[in-house]
């Protein structure tokens, strides 16, 4: 059965037309479905978990990257056998600000195209990221589908949320938020390892671990990232000089950012960040706060996407 999760706050101007078109498609296909509407932050996780546990083997998300990320967490934490979980296929009709996961698959705000591809597309196995960290002496796990970011990345997400009320809900919002974050972020002392090999030690200004190649509304921090290859692509940067910032800005969206000298890149199926400092992380645009170290693992072909 098909489960539908709708975030009415994402792209709400076009919500009525999108919903009516979806209902028309479902009626035409005589397809049984169950739909839920999110009402608060984290609600999509609860709804997805409920739908999977009730036997839904397909979940369509009408929302942005954050809503999709919550749904992924719901699927991954549902109390079902692993074999049943791996058979669950999710799909996306992008309605958010960044829409970075959808961008990789050629899905955008042309909602008819997104829905047509969901109903007629194939299931493709995709990797899922798993972030493990400690807070107040307890171990916590957070799943993500597109990327996790540290430093400037996480601060940029905070600023983008603030600017949404002034700039609007579109990718340009992230560019202005990035400029603010570049000014305010301070480097953090860390030791980073990939697959148990140390790859960076020093003050990290920003870092992005990519399952997909886009973040921040189309910025290509890890242009070679492939969500089906079983590894992460990672970029890590020291604090750049003003001249280097000017060199980086025109390269943000064309894939040449990682060519700059202040940026390190590497790959790995497991990435660990060791530090005693307070960390702020964005996982698919959702900001998390904790102190100390964390581990990020790639779960190869953990779920399926219908596209």
247 membership: H or E segment, kind and range: helix 242-248
**Per-residue pLDDT at 165:** 59
Instruction: Give the global pTM.
Output: 0.92
**Per-residue pLDDT at 214:** 96
Q: Splitting the chain (307 residues) into consecutive groups of 10 residues, what average pLDDT does each group show? A: 89 75 90 93 97 96 95 98 94 88 92 92 96 89 97 83 63 76 88 97 96 92 97 96 92 93 97 92 91 94 96
Domain boundaries, the chain: 2-121, 129-306
Find the radius of gyration of the CA atoms of the chain: 19
**Per-residue pLDDT at 226:** 98
**Per-residue pLDDT at 176:** 79
CATH number of this structure's domain 129-306: 2.60.200.40
C-alpha distance from residue 251 to each of 43, 46, 96, 137 (Å):
37, 39, 24, 41
* Nearest partner of 232 among 185, 193, 200, judged by Cα: 193
**Per-residue pLDDT at 134:** 87
Q: Are 61 and 71 in contact (CB under 8 A)?
A: yes
CATH top-level class for 2-121? alpha beta
């Amino acid at each position: 059965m098909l489960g539908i999760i709708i975030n009415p706050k994402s792209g709400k101007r076009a919500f009525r037309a999108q919903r009516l078109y979806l209902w028309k498609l479902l009626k035409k296909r005589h397809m049984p479905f169950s739909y839920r509407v999110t009402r608060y932050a984290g609600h999509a996780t609860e709804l997805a978990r409920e739908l999977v546990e009730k036997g839904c083997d397909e979940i369509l998300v009408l929302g942005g990257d954050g809503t999709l990320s919550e749904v992924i967490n719901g699927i991954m934490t549902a109390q079902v056998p692993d074999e049943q979980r791996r058979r669950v296929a999710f799909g996306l009709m992008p309605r958010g600000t960044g829409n970075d996961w959808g961008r990789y698959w050629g899905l955008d705000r042309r909602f008819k195209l997104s829905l047509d591809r969901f109903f007629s597309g194939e299931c493709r196995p995709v990797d899922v990221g798993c972030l493990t960290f400690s807070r107040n002496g307890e171990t916590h796990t957070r799943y993500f589908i597109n990327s996790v970011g540290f430093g400037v990345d996480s601060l940029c997400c905070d600023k983008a949320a603030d600017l949404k009320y002034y700039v609007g809900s579109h990718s340009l919002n992230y560019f202005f938020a990035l400029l603010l974050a570049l000014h305010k972020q301070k480097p953090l002392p860390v030791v980073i390892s990939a697959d148990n090999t140390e790859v960076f030690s020093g003050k990290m200004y920003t870092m992005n671990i990519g399952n997909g190649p886009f973040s921040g509304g189309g910025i290509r921090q890890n242009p070679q990232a492939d969500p089906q290859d079983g590894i992460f692509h990672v970029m890590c940067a020291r604090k750049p000089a003003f001249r280097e910032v000017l060199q980086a800005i025109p390269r943000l969206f064309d894939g040449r950012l990682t060519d700059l000298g202040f940026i390190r890149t590497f790959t790995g199926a497991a990435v660990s960040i060791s530090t005693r400092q307070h960390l702020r992380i964005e996982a698919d645009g959702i900001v998390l706060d904790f102190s100390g170290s964390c581990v990020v693992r790639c779960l190869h072909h953990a779920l399926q996407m219908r596209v």
